[in-house]
Chains A and B, each alone.
Chain A
Amino acid sequence: MNDAIDISHVRDAAFTAEVEARSGQKVASCYQCGNCTAGCPAGFAYDMQVSQIMRGVQLGLKDSVLKSRSIWMCLSCSTCSQRCPNNIDVAAVMETLRHMARKEGHITVPKVEKFWLSFLNTVRAFGRSYEIGTMVLYMMRSLRVYTDVDLAPTAFAKGKLGLLPHLTPGGAEPVERIFRRYRERAKREGGRP
């Protein structure tokens, strides 16, 4: 019996297979060169570096990967994918992990999700995104009412923020219908819309 750490109880081979299938990426070909981590502009805010996430996926460490802060802090800038010597679209893997984490109800950085959902609420309501609406919904959801108040005077003075939503001519109904069908399907299939 050697004294190596036994991680067999946390390894989930099905998880590795699912990430590869959903992302269309061959995570097995990662040889841990660290190029992705070296170039990642969000790494300073990660709890596991992106190369560690890749290793975690290879090893089937489902819990640590899906509960990581990193998958929520990823900027989707694709620098990692650009610089991977094995042509793995690492950013696509990160996005897949985010989708899987949401599906399992692991929202490790809720304010990021709250911001996304606030933005999408305005798109559903008006057909187009609405900056002030996004801010107000986000402040309500996150209880962070002072978000960016320092920018407000300049933003208003320079006409950077339209006070009224920009409505889609012909109404926002077709877009609302897309969201409705999406939500219904997500519920039916057991996901988090």
Chain B
Amino acid sequence: MNFAYYPGCSAKGSSSDYESSTQAVCRALDITLEEIPGWNCCGSTPAHAVDTELSAALCVRNLDIAARQGADLLLTPCPSCLSNLRAAARRMEKPAFRQRVNELLDAPAAETFPEVTSVMQGIARQIDRETLAARVQTSLKGLRLAAYYGCLMSRPSELMRFEDPENPLLMEGLLSACGAEMVDFPLKTACCGASFGIPERAMTARNSGRILELARRLGVDAVVTACPLCQMNLDLRQKQAGRACETSFHLPVLYFTQMLGLALGLKRNELGLNKLAVSANGLLEKMDNLRRADAVEGGRS
């Protein structure tokens, strides 16, 4: 199955591991991602914080490219891109707004745009639980994981339409199909502090610290994310978060695609695990030991 694909800027920079693992997992599941040509930044939070029409114009240029490619579904790995693209498409339904945005573009945008959804929802739409379970090469059995969605996958709820907005379970569904034990994680949709890491570190350190603290108390082997900015705040900024909580953490924070990739038996270098600031080596060793124990067990019986 082929899907039009909008990687978003992080995929080409700070979250190249999300990108490579997304590509690898989709390939393994027979999903082809076709990057739309000449895409640009959606403007992210800064654009909509400054001006709604500027934000929409940046998004609509991409939606327009996808529409002209004849796509009927556009996938993006990044929840922030997804939220912005959807909000822009929604606002363009109002003729006065559409006209104001069209004035900013080279040419008026297409009348209708393809539906936009996340890579996670795209995978879940294509592959049911049994099919995914049947593709597992290396079970995640014995690993205790916390699924962390962040704000934007599910909010604003009428725009994102993502399950129970305060308790989504899609990631748990995918990873438990691979054998993992998913803990009930009450902060799964709490905010990590978003892009305030640069201008106001305390905001990000404190919010991310709270999430990491709970994950540690629940005794998880890793936190699993779907958002490049959440992943950066919880992983690269983990030391800052530890200092804010007067402690220090050592919790691997992986993208859900990296976790799925491990289960599907994909090559570890394809999954970009070496890019994690907090090493996943302990987690990988635990996995190897668990599977070795299985093999011994299996050999005995």
Contacts and interface: CB of A to CB of B under 8 A. Distances in A.
Given A112-B199, A178-B58, A76 B207 contact: no
Interface string A164-188: 0010111010110111011001100
A35 interface: no
B191 A79 contact: yes
A81 interface: yes
Contacts of A41: 190-191, 193, 207
Interface in A120-172: 120, 123, 127-131, 134-135, 138, 142, 147-148, 150-151, 154-155, 158-162, 166, 168-170, 172
Interface stretch (A1-9, A11-19, A52-60, A95-103): A95-103
B20 to A, nearest CB: 11
A133 to B, nearest CB: 11
A166 to B, nearest CB: 4
Interface residues of B, number: 60
Interface string B278-297: 00000000000000000000
A148 B197 contact: yes
Most buried by A among B48, B50, B207: B50
Given A120-B43, A160-B14, A175 B58 contact: yes
Given A128-B41, A138-B198, A182 B155 contact: no
A121 to B, nearest CB: 10
Given A114-B199, A181-B103, A162 B276 contact: no
B268 interface: no
A63 to B, nearest CB: 21
B57 A182 contact: yes
A162 B13 contact: yes
Nearest to B206: A44
A75 interface: yes
Interface of B: 9, 12-14, 16, 37-41, 43-54, 57-58, 61, 103-106, 151-152, 155-157, 165-166, 190-191, 193-203, 206-207, 232, 236-237, 239-240, 274-277
B156 A178 contact: no
Given A128-B12, A160-B275, A162-B12, 10 more contacts: A75-B193, A76-B194, A120-B50, A129-B44, A135-B198, A147-B198, A148-B198, A170-B37, A175-B40, A178-B61
Interface of A: 41-42, 44-45, 73, 75-79, 81-82, 89, 91, 95, 98-99, 102, 109, 111-112, 114-117, 119-120, 123, 127-131, 134-135, 138, 142, 147-148, 150-151, 154-155, 158-162, 166, 168-170, 172, 174-175, 177-179, 181-182, 185-186
A150 B176 CA distance: 37
B104 A166 contact: no
B103 A185 contact: yes
B93 to A, nearest CB: 13
A67 B8 CA distance: 34
A95 B48 CA distance: 8
B44 A178 contact: no
Contact of A123 (B43, B206, B232): B43
Nearest to B210: A41
Contacts of A174: 38, 40, 61, 106
Contacts of B54: 178-179, 182
20 contacts: A45-B203, A75-B194, A75-B207, A77-B191, A78-B156, A79-B151, A81-B156, A82-B156, A89-B156, A95-B48, A99-B51, A109-B200, A111-B200, A115-B198, A123-B47, A128-B12, A130-B13, A158-B276, A178-B57, A182-B51
